[in-house]
Structure 1
């Protein structure tokens, strides 16, 4: 069975049913990953309290998760390939679900660190497998669809945050256990469809076979440039997650209004990703990323400089909108070189995500928080300046 679509060129082409099912399945995996990560992130204070961790102890647990994620990205990048996509997606999904449930039961720092290490590793494997498979699915479609996958992640994260708020009066052990069980059931139920992701039709479309395709080589300098840009963008995401509410508190906003800064950022990013594929198809990745990065830089700088709550809220929202398409475009460019290249770029990006908030905190101690937050705005400007060297139209 095939489906007829009209790509950006205006010419219709047949898309095998396996490709369409692969797209739906991968959309579910991206949304599920965002959902689980949001639930974990919003309940970290409860985990800290139940295990009696001080700030240093919590930092050690989060470091274990980060180490696990980097290892998972590396291992997943080496193992990922069309024939192994189903195994990595299913294994990563089950690992994420089981480790989330374990995180709810651990009451000692050592046990919690071990569970966090497993959780991070499963996250890394699932992340690189989903992104590599998504690039292949996009190649089969013949038009941009990558931004839609990342929009699903953003919407899943929003849903996870809402569920976490609604279930705030329940023990995190119960919440993690129930969500882990749901993810296990969903992963097992989806496993027959997951096989489509590894089929030749789902990877390459009707015109090619696996043996006919040869992945183009990307130069080492271009791979590292993609990684550098990913780190710059994800540093901005980390800054928004960890420092946007603190920035608003400094402007004497209420706690609810301060929390709205990151909510506005996230909603704007999700909205931008929902229309990102259409924009990329119409104008090309270079132009969309460059324009978005300029918008992000100018928006955040304006919000910081005007020094009032409405401008700050608007600035964070514009920042999220401007960065919306950047990471999907960078992963698409990396995916041309295969899963290992995706893993390399992802590791660089996540290092920026993990290190960024701490770096901004250090800068804030020697300047001010608004002064330190100029850094992600400047990095967005750098992305705009260098994107033409990293991306293809």
Structure 2
């Protein structure tokens, strides 16, 4: 068994296509779930507070999945976390479509989040190993597939509003499960990704460990970046609305952010290979801080739209580069960075809301600006630490 795992039985391109599909499927399902949330809330007669409890269940499950996933990937190999969690993830979406009571929704959301966390660790750790086999940067393009999948899922949800949400959840979930089962032979052939001792590492990744301080710093920077993403999801439209824009224009802010994020990730690997991760992340974070900061300071609708676009483009390569750097420490380091980063995504919008209630929306949105600037300043120390 060990001998079989030690010799790659699938070419790196096959592994890359497999992971591209995993990231894309994750993006589609999450976007469909989020976009049809109002319909789920109405069908279950949930108050805003009860819906928050459901989302908290999903968040708790995801954090638990990230922590458990790191240990499982470290002990049994990350490829074991591709099929099983994907099946549970898809089945969880189907179940969520059938739930109508608060307890059942919280439980279903927790299982859905748990599978998300397990799959996140498995996919990102495998991606680190595939990137090493390629001997060049590919992490950004893999994360781009998640962004493209999310855009596709959002478009699917928007164009099927006539369809009951539970039918859409069941369809997307079932397709996810069937696709995962069909991919079993490919995943079995990719078990060489569980071997972290091979010679596929590049010279600058020869050391398989990172200090605890470096891992925490990578996680803190990921949290800062994902707080910016959470701000775009929950506050970009609110910001535009505060500037007296139309509803369509307000909604366009997040669309521009997402499109810029996907575009940046599409070209991120080439830029990182040519200029280095530190330079690209530092320059991108500076662009994000300056762009959104200028949009907030000028206070016009066009400037705000450009600001959110700059935030998406500027932060597009940061998280993929941080995950790649965490890969030097193994699956547990990847899980720790991902878990810390998601805390920023989950808690950031609430923190901005609290600040906005005390000051104003533009003032509160200075928080992601300051954190993007901090990423620019600390990128060198985090990404080049040994």
Of 191, 214, 225, the residue aligned with 1:233 is 225
Shift of 1:198: 1.7
Distance 1:116 1:281 in 2: 39
Structure 1 residue aligned with 2:111: 118
- For structure 2, the 5+ residue unaligned runs are 1-7
Q: Distance in 2 between matches of 1:166 and 1:262?
A: 17
1:324 matched to 2:327: no
Summarize deviations over 1:339-377 as a string: whole Å, max 9, x none.
100110111100000000000000001110000001100
**Gap change, CA 1:147 and 1:203, over 3 Å in 2:** farther
Whole-angstrom CA distance in 1 between matches of 2:262 and 2:369: 19
Q: Could you say if the C-alpha distance between residues 203 and 161 of structure 1 is closer, same or farther in structure 2, counting changes exceeding 3 Å?
A: farther
Does the 8 Å CA contact 1:39/1:161 hold for their aligned counterparts?
A: yes
Query: Is 2:175 aligned against 1:159?
Result: no
Residue 203 and residue 196 in structure 1: after superposition, are their counterparts in 2 closer, same or farther (change >3 A)?
Answer: farther
Distance 1:58 1:289 in 2: 36
Q: Which residue of 1 is the match for residue 380 of structure 2?
A: 388
Summarize the Cα distance change of 1:277–1:208 in structure 2 as closer, same or farther, 3 Å threshold. Answer: closer
CA distance in structure 2 between the partners assigned to 1:133 and 1:235 by the alignment: 25
Aligned twin of 1:33: 26
Answer yes or no: is the 8 Å Cα contact 2:219–2:341 preserved in 1. yes
Structure 1 pair 267/216, CA: closer, same or farther in 2 (3 Å)? Answer: same
Which whole-Å CA distance do the structure 1 matches of 2:234 and 2:269 have between them?
A: 28
Residues 1-393 of structure 1 mapped to structure 2, 5 A cutoff: 17-81=10-74, 84-199=77-192, 207=199, 216-392=208-384
* Distance in 2 between residues matched to 1:383 and 1:321, nearest whole Å: 14
Residue 82 of structure 2 aligns to a residue in which SS? helix
Q: How far off is 1:159 after superposition? A: 0.2
Query: What is the total number of aligned residue pairs between the two structures?
Result: 375
Cα distance between partner residues in 2 of 1:82 and 1:314: 46
1:86–1:191 contact (8 Å) kept in structure 2: no
Paired position in structure 2 for 1:8: none
The Cα shift of 1:169 comes to: 1.2
SS at match of 1:143: coil
Give the Cα–Cα distance (whole angstroms) in 1 for the partners of residues 111 and 356 of structure 2. 33
| Larger CA deviation: 79-88 vs 165-174 | 79-88
Which 5+ residue runs of structure 1 have no aligned equivalent?
A: 1-14
After TM superposition, the runs of 4+ consecutive aligned structure 1 residues lying more than 4 A away are: 202-209
